[in-house]
């Protein structure tokens, strides 16, 4: 009796602590980890699929569509950067240089809206001591000569009729010349250069402070129109400019691009392609910001057009879509795809006809463990 009880206990322990590679009566792996559902029924199954109860699907906002094959334009992704439109932007620079003084409303700051003709500030010019002393001495000499000329004109005018008229006119001309030279020299000593907004828009750059000494041709302010920007992309193929039909910015919905033209000179081994923004997106753009241009070509490709959010990544970093295999079961399916624009992609390999693909909530299903 004791031996029979010991044998039964050994069988129980052997079944509970199955060794690696042990199989059950139906061929299942006894050492394989089993899915442990969460409190709400979500579970990752051993084959990689996911169990999502109906109530959880409604909470996660899961939506599916039946994939249908169609034709779409082939696309290419190009690295690019944001530029200002030369016809809707401008720079404020000093011609001579000097000390910065504020304008009637103070110095503008980056992000401030301005109108064309607004005075940002003034540049007060400062000559070196020797030149300043020379100008002051010249001004004093001109002022003295002007006063003497005024007295001479008065004397000649009092003797009009006895003095030739040509002498009176010569004295008046000399007086006018001295007065004009005095005014020019006097205004140059206290001259200040106004800093005026060249266009209406937003201050994109402001690099000055009150009292700062700046050099000539130094960029002090930059004003742009945020609704009129340019995008410069780099293409490795010079013939690509003849195949473009439309373009968008990847990851920046709302911004549409109009192709302007392709350069005829290589820059860093690539041909520059210029686009003009024609739509205002929800995300603002900054000058110099690196972006990716998704350009549609004239050729066509067959595939399944889906929203970009339908594409997720598996643990191996492969792009996958989630296919509904049952009422509560979803399978990850590796695919190959090309972006069409900022919102849609075309799946070229991996999907079949009548596959029900998750187009909303795919990223939430991929997080279930």
Domain boundaries, given as residue ranges, for the chain = 33-88+225-369, 93-125+192-224, 129-187
Percent pLDDT > 70 in the chain is: 86
Q: What is the mean pLDDT of residues 45-62?
A: 89
- The number of C-alpha atoms within 13 Å of 287 and in the hemisphere containing its C-beta is 20
pTM: predicted TM-score of the whole model, two decimal places: 0.58
Lowest pLDDT segment from 126-130, 153-157, 199-203: 126-130
Report the pLDDT value the prediction gives residue 315, as an integer from 0 to 100: 87
Could you tell me the CA-to-CA distances from 194 to 88, 118, 123, 206, 300 in Å, in that order?
21, 10, 6, 16, 57
Greater model confidence, 142 or 188: 142
Place of tokens 């392709």: 262
Contact status, residue 191 vs residue 94, Cβ threshold 8 Å = no
Residue 233 CB: number of other CB atoms within 10 A? 26
Which CATH homologous superfamily contains domain 33-88+225-369? Efflux pump adaptor protein, beta barrel domain (2.40.30.170)
Q: Which has the closest alpha carbon to 349: 328, 318, 309, 315?
A: 318
- List, for residues 261-313, the tens digit of each pLDDT value: 888 888 888 889 999 988 776 778 889 999 999 888 877 888 899 998 999 99
Token output for 160: 């009009």
Q: What is the mean pLDDT of residues 48-60?
A: 90
Task: Write the class of the CATH domain 93-125+192-224.
Answer: mainly beta
Could you tell me which residues are beta bridge partners of residue 346? Answer: 305, 338
Rounded Cα–Cα distance for residues 349 and 369 (Å): 27
Rounded Cα–Cα distance for residues 116 and 196 (Å): 8
In the predicted structure, residue 73 carries a pLDDT above the cut 90: no
Residue 146 — pLDDT band, cuts 50, 70, 90?
confident
Residue 56 CB: number of other CB atoms within 10 A? 18
Token output for 336: 């190959």
Token output for 69: 């094959």
Rounded Cα–Cα distance for residues 101 and 184 (Å): 23
Could you tell me which residues are beta bridge partners of residue 324? Answer: 330
> Which residues have C-beta within 8 Å of that of residue 269, sequence separation ≥ 6?
236
To the nearest whole number, what is the mean pLDDT of the chain?
82
Rounded Cα–Cα distance for residues 359 and 40 (Å): 22
């Amino acid at each position: 009796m004791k031996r029979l009880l010991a044998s039964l206990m050994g069988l129980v322990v052997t079944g509970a602590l199955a060794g690696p590679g042990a199989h059950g009566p139906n061929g299942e792996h006894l050492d394989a980890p089993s899915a442990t559902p969460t409190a709400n029924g979500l579970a990752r199954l051993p084959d990689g699929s996911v169990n999502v109860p109906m109530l959880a699907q409604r909470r996660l906002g899961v939506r599916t569509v039946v994939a249908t094959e169609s034709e779409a334009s082939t696309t290419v992704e190009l690295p690019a950067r944001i530029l200002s439109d030369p016809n809707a932007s401008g720079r404020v620079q000093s011609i001579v240089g000097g000390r910065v003084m504020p304008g009637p409303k103070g110095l503008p700051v980056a992000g401030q809206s301005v109108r064309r003709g607004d005075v940002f500030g003034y540049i007060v010019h400062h000559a070196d001591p020797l030149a300043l002393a020379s100008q002051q001495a010249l001004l004093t000499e001109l002022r003295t000569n002007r006063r003497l000329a005024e007295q001479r004109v008065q004397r000649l005018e009092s003797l009009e009729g006895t003095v030739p008229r040509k002498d009176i006119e010569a004295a008046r001309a000399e007086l006018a010349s001295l007065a004009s030279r005095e005014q020019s020299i006097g205004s140059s000593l206290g001259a200040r250069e106004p800093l005026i907004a060249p266009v209406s828009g937003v201050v994109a750059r402001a690099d000055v402070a009150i009292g700062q000494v700046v050099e000539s041709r130094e960029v002090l302010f930059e004003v742009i129109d945020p609704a009129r920007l340019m995008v410069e992309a780099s293409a490795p193929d010079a013939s690509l400019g003849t195949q473009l039909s439309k373009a968008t910015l990847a990851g920046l919905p709302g911004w549409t691009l109009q192709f302007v033209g392709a350069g005829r000179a290589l820059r860093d081994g690539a041909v520059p392609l210029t686009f003009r923004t024609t739509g205002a997106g929800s995300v603002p753009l900054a000058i110099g910001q690196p972006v990716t241009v998704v350009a549609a070509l004239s050729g066509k490709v067959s595939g399944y057009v889906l929203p970009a959010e339908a594409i997720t990544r598996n643990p191996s970093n492969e792009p996958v879509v989630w296919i509904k295999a049952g009422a509560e079961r979803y399978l990850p399916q590796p695919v190959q795809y090309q972006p069409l624009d900022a919102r849609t992609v075309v799946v070229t390999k991996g999907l079949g006809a009548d596959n029900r693909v998750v187009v909303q909530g795919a990223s939430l299903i991929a997080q279930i463990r």
